[in-house]
Structure 1
Amino acid sequence: GSFEVKYQEPFEDKGKIGWRNAQGIEPEKFNWCVFTFPANEVDIHGAFLCSKDIPVEEIKNPILRKSNGHQGTRMVTAFYGDYLDKPDNVNHSVDAFEIPNKSDVKELSNGLFGEESRVYLDDIKEQANIQLKSIYKEIEQAQENAERKVMSLAKQLGISHHIAVSVKKSVKLTDDDDSIVKSLHIEEAKYVASKSNEARKVIEQLNHMDPTSPTYQSDLEEKSSELSALVDAQNKEELSKYVVRRELVANLLDRVLNQKLAVQTEPLPDGKKRRDKEGFIHDLIFKRKSDGNLNDLWILDEEFVHFDGCSDVPLNEIQSESGEFLLKDIPEEEIAKLQLKITKRPDIFIYASEGKCVLIEFKAPDVTLTDYMHQTPNYCTLIANYSVHKIEKFYCYLIGESYSKIDVPAEYEETVNGSWLREKIRIIHPETRERIAWAQQEIIKLSDIAARAHRRNKSFAAKLGIDDLMDGNNE
């Protein structure tokens, strides 16, 4: 291919040097050609200004600098022309051009105006780079695809935007997903190590703080600000998304209770007689027939989201993360004799810790909770008697919206949150009638759960400065 570069002449422009096309002089013509090599035969893609068939000066280009081979080949581009071959424009050893750049012209002089106008080296390079953009278009597109892959993988992994940008600058066309992920984690580790060192210095200063000092609160606030400054803006943005998502869940719960979701009021399909009212609540908080990888149990207790759990799975099919079943094998005759209901499905079962578990039952808003007070204790009795590993403490929750205080047994005490709690329910062996475990059960209204979630979310939102946005979510 070929291109032209016009002659330029300087002129005075408001006390500075300006540039304009020289009149009456034909532009200089330059040519280019591309040599393609197997990738293992040359070190890098490259482009060079040549004089008398010798590469004199490499042209720096972002595409060429980052690319390390594309589809098994590398390309070398040569730019050449009569202007570059002129003896006055290249030194005797043919390893540097004598053509000035526009930036070399610092002031106007009589001598300069007496000389012919020039084609300047920076104009030649500028036009050469325009050609390179077309020549290496396929490589540029491949590079852009690789960079997009970096950003996409970083987003999937929850890695900060600024770390992804850093890795994007050095990604190679030959990098696969595994190598990109490795680079992202390495860069993140470097960043975290640096921030951790800074944080450690701040925390070490706590040794010099005095809680009895009049300035204690202001000193603590100062240290808090120093540590907070180490949390980058991207992570603060992610935290905001986290809080906003939680508020949306609480807001959805309000709408379910108030029958405001379109799916709750639209006509039922043919053949369907009633709505799955409990299902709206259940799937909102913990999708049925799923494991614990994604749930919104934080709305009940923050700790629950970190435990191993399952939803709507038969008792005899519940397994731990290691694949071990909850219940041991029970002889058929014993199942028949004691009428054991081993296929019953707790709404939610959680392995809390060794010897402890959590059972949660949801009821539709129009169902009377006190009619089901024995459901979770019955599950506890079966589990305590036939679990593979001994479970001695059960935490049970009966959650709905409708009940009357007059129906709540005397053993239940009202909590500070307005729920009802019975702390000690005896779980017994069916034959000896001896206690083998303890259970506690709490009766909670869904509306109270939603109200508490809104309070927590609003507190976080105020700290993040997004409380106005949260108020908009509640409309």
Structure 2
Amino acid sequence: MCIFIRNITSYLQAEKNIRYQKNQENKHTLLTYQDLKMKFENNTFISGDGVYYEGVIRDVKRSKVSLQPVYEAFTNSLEAIRIKEKIDKDFKGKIEIKIYSTQNTDQSYTFSKLQISDNGVGFDDKEFKRFNTYKDFTKGFKNLGSGRIQYTHYFDTTQIKSIYLKSGKYREREFYVSKKEDYLKKNSIIFHKKDIEIEAKSSGTILTFEGLLDQTRNIYHTLNDVNLKDSLLKRYIQYFCLNKNSLPEIILEHYVFNDKESHSTISKSDIPKIDKTDNVKVHYSKLSDDAKSIIETENHETFTINSYKLDKSFLKQNDLKLTSKHEVVENFEVNLSSLSKDEVIDDSHFLFLVSSEYLDNKDTNERGEINIPNNDIFSNDPNMFNEEVIILNLLEMEINGTINNLYPQIEKIQEQHQLDIKNLKEMFLLPEDSEIEISINDSDKKILEKFYTAEAKKKADLDSNLKSSIERLNHLDTTSENYSETLDTEIERIAKVIPQQNKADLTHYIARRKLVLELFSLILNRKLSIQNDGSRNKDEALLHNLIFQQNATTPDKSDLWIINEDFIYFQGISESKLSEIKFKGENIIREDLSEEETQFITSIGENRLHKRPDILLFPQEEKCIIIEFKNPDVSVSDHLNQINNYATLLRNFSIPDMKLTTFYGYLIGEKIEPNDVRAYDADFKNAYNFDYLFRPSKTIAGIYSNEGKDGSLYTEVVKYSTLLERAKNRNNVFIKKLTKENIEPPF
């Protein structure tokens, strides 16, 4: 009688659970008292009523989580042990997982089989009936009965041997799960081999996976006790933490050619403690009466956030995960906007796990698949939401807000993130655009991509509007009465569009110059790491390459504008022997040198045509610009004649077509004492208020060819810091025009 009452009570509770699952399908086979008494025949295929298994196999997709079958079996073992614990308070559960591999000649492994055993309640008729009923959720653990489908997706055969207690005697049930052709022909995935009475001392189940169907799934070939333990800890961290003091003994072993290679255990010491816990209420949402917006309702669900502060070596990045039935949901992304994934606090990463009765009930037939809509889906197809629903966007916002309250350090990190974005905007002169959503996980590159993508879209709109205006101009009728009015309207539209287009292009141009000047300042102040690594002084080369890359021949791609805006439009070359310099495809040095000229060039043991001017520019016929850089630590006064010498060689030995008679020289350094310069050459004069010296003219001797005609040289001696200040002032004029703010840039 007691057994009868207990069975009826179980049935009534099961029926209550069925009614509770309001969001689940109602088409399933109910457990009845007669069902509990039924006997399953030996050597028979089990066919579910109203279930077409070929369709089920097709509809329930293979999980993207490769270890899902293992997780399903492990969960079943945990549940079998919990059922037995309710019957026997002194019972101590045990789960053993054995991984069998073979070793290849290259020392790698090939997966053979995996076995999971437990000493739980076993597959009695009641549990076996549930196992055979697709979409049965009468079980107190809210299973949907689709786990066995994952068995068939990953393994050719799953063998289950189970010992259970019935009427005071032990019985052994053996059955197989597969989607092989002979199974599906019988509209089945389960073959019940036997159910016999045996001599035994305890109940339990041994499940064996064999015949890996997809041999490319290397996770199984590399699986061992260590990495499986790590996977189980991460997957079941919520369950382990909540049941830390009542966990079964969990043993993992790796066998190679049936010899035990290694073993691990999951014990209380492996399980981290929950660092902090908080609850958050999330209101349901619905479409407004006018179907134009989403509004919150008074109804809500409560979600629990458990946070774990874990060593960064164990948890590789910060993460936020939903959980269902105490398991982490792997296939549903939730945005952790409070903390970047790579942020480390106290050598730790954070894991935030969110649980709720609501999430348990939202789990789909493909276990671990959660369906929660976001605003986009809601807005695109409002008709699919006839009832109130929890919206993902609101859920994420409430969860992240609670996380901020849990950890003040995270709030400080967010403040720094906002400051970094502000500095990035100032650096690249980015516009304030409220439509651009920036995540705390976005790198600088990603943020810039978002801004530039938004700008590109705006530019496309502007171009489209401009094209439309021009097309409308083609159709204007000069004889119409409103001709003048229509023309003025189109002109006004075009007048608005063109400045906006130009402003976007100019902003990028000025922002780049701003960065170049920042780098110029860092070099000049010796702030670059390469300038402080103990190697030889490279300041002159760094400055030279910044302004015009050595050995380059493209002034238009250089930053010669730092010296003079016009210089980028001239032809020229950087750092090359005089004898090898070409202009318009021809060597600029004559090949028909006389014996006397050659003797002069090679006198006093050097070849003067092997000298390398830092920069030569040719603005037009008869003119040449010579630029020489000096290391900031070198006294410029000692090199006042260097540009004179270059001008003399070019005047006398260049080809007649060049007709070089007018030269402009720029001697640039930092160690400049005006009186010292004038002591060397009194023709130099101070340019008051502009901090440089200039020599209006210096005669360049015409000694040999070129009709013996002298040339002239204008020279400036100027500091790098003066060039920097001039260039910054010029650039700031543009920045103020663009931003309409009379503020100094951040450097």
- Per-residue displacement from partner, 1:140-171 (whole Å, max 9, x unpaired)? xxxxxxxxxxxx9xx9xxx975665799xxxx
Say whether 1:356 aligns with 2:619.
no
User: Is 1:429 the equivalent of 2:702?
Assistant: yes
Q: 1:241 to 1:163 in 2, by over 3 A?
A: closer
Q: Distance in 1 between matches of 2:662 and 2:544?
A: 24
Describe the shift of the 1:430–1:338 C-alpha distance in structure 2 as closer, same or farther (beyond 3 A).
farther
What CA deviation, in whole Å up to 9, does each residue of 1:73-99 have, x standing for no partner? Answer: xxxxxxxxxxxxxxxxxxxxxxxxxxx
The more displaced of 452-461 and 431-440 is 431-440
Residue 191 of structure 1 deviates from its aligned partner by 7.9
Q: How does 1:39-438 map to 2 (within 5 A)?
A: 229-268=496-535, 274-292=536-554, 293-320=556-583, 322-331=584-593, 333=595, 334-339=597-602, 341-388=608-655, 389-408=658-677, 409-416=681-688, 417-430=690-703, 435-438=709-712
Hey, what's the Cα distance between the residues in 1 that align with 2:625 and 2:582?
14
SS of corresponding position for 1:357: strand
1:300–1:240: structure 2 CA closer, same or farther, 3 Å change rule?
same
Q: CA deviation at 1:342?
A: 0.8
Provide Cα deviations, 1:374-413, integer angstroms capped at 9, x if missing partner.
1111011111111112111000000010022222121011
- Secondary structure of the corresponding residue to residue 264 of structure 1: helix
Query: In the alignment, which residue of structure 1 is the partner of 2:189?
Result: none
Residue type of the alignment partner of 1:235: N
Tell me if structure 2 keeps the 8 A contact 1:253–1:450.
yes
Cα distance change on mapping 1:227 and 1:362 into 2, 3 Å? farther
- For the residues of structure 1 that align with 2:735 and 2:462, how far apart are their CA atoms? 30
* Residue identity in the other structure for 2:571: D
Equivalent AA in structure 1 for residue 526 of structure 2: Q
Q: Which amino acid aligns with 1:438?
A: S
Tell me how far apart the structure 1 counterparts of residues 514 and 591 of structure 2 sit (CA, whole Å): 43
C-alpha distance in structure 1 between counterparts of 2:563 and 2:668, whole Å: 10
Query: What code does the residue aligned with 2:564 have?
Result: D
Structure 1 residues 51-92: Cα deviation after superposition (integer angstroms, max 9, x where no partner):
xxxxxxxxxxxxxxxxxxxxxxxxxxxxxxxxxxxxxxxxxx
Structure 1 residue 430 displacement after superposition: 2.9
Partner of 1:442: helix, strand, or coil? strand
Question: Could you tell me how far apart the structure 2 residues matched to 1:421 and 1:227 are?
Answer: 47
Q: Indicate how the Cα distance of structure 1 residues 425 and 161 shifts in structure 2: closer, same or farther if over 3 A, else same.
A: farther
Tell me the SS of whatever aligns to 1:458.
helix
2:734 to 460, 467, 470: 460
Contact 1:348 1:360 in 2 (8 A): yes
Identity of aligned residues (%): 32
Give how far 1:434 is off: 5.9
What is the CA-CA distance between 1:418 and the residue it aligns to? Answer: 1.6
Gaps of 5+ in 1: 1-125, 128-151, 168-186, 198-224, 269-273
> Which amino acid letter does the alignment assign opposite residue 314 of structure 1?
K
Q: State how far apart, in whole Å, the 1-side matches of 2:468 and 2:626 are.
A: 41
Q: TM-score, normalised by structure 2?
A: 0.33
Structure 1 Cα separation of the partners of residues 526 and 653 of structure 2: 41
Q: How many residues align?
A: 269
Distance between the aligned counterparts of 2:736 and 2:589, measured in 1? 46
**Which of the residues 441, 449, 461 maps onto 2:723?**
449
Partners of 1:382 and 1:471 in 2: how far apart? Answer: 44
Give the residue type in structure 1 aligned to 2:541. G
TM-score, normalising length from structure 1?
0.50
The alignment partner of 2:648 has SS state of: helix
Cα distance, 1:305 vs. partner? 0.6
For the 8 Å contact 2:510–2:734, the answer to whether it is kept is yes
Shift in CA distance, 314/195, structure 1 to aligned 2, threshold 3 Å? farther
Gaps of 5+ in 2: 1-379, 382-448, 475-491
Q: Which has the higher contact order (CA 8 A, sep 6+)?
A: 1
**Structure 1 counterpart SS, 2:613:** coil
CA deviation digits over 1:235-284, x for unaligned, max 9? 3122112112112212221111111111111243xxxxx22221011001
> 1-side partners of 2:558 and 2:550: how far apart?
10
For the residue of structure 1 that corresponds to 2:587, the secondary structure is coil
CA contact (8 A) 1:247 1:453 kept: no
1:406 is paired with a residue of what secondary structure?
A: helix
CA distance in structure 2 between the partners assigned to 1:257 and 1:404 by the alignment? 18
Equivalence for 2:389: none
